[in-house]
Amino acid sequence: MPRHVFTPRFYRESDAPGVTTWEPVAPESVCREEWLRLVYSDEMWLTQFGSRDIDWSDPKPISNAEPTSSSTLPSLVVRMLEDLDVQDG
């Protein structure tokens, strides 16, 4: 299944100095090509912070929050599938 189906919107860590802040990334907030490049990069993207409901119609950066859910690194998923060593029978 294509990763962008499961990761339509996410947060990435900002490189601004100071308090750790995550900025929203969605097809509406960056150009579609950049969004797809990010979605398919070998990165973990944050998808949830505590029990916060994210208003994706007007997403804001998030600071002082604990991430509670993310999309897994694609390379880790591949490694786990290889380690599973599924065989016929």
- Tens-level pLDDT at each residue, the chain (89 residues): 789 999 999 999 998 888 899 999 999 889 999 999 999 999 999 999 998 888 889 999 999 899 999 999 999 999 999 999 988 98
CB distance 29 to 60 below 8 Å = no
Cα angle vertex 49, ends 48, 55, to 5°?
70
Its pTM stands at 0.82
**Cα dihedral across residues 49, 53, 59, 64: positive or negative:** negative
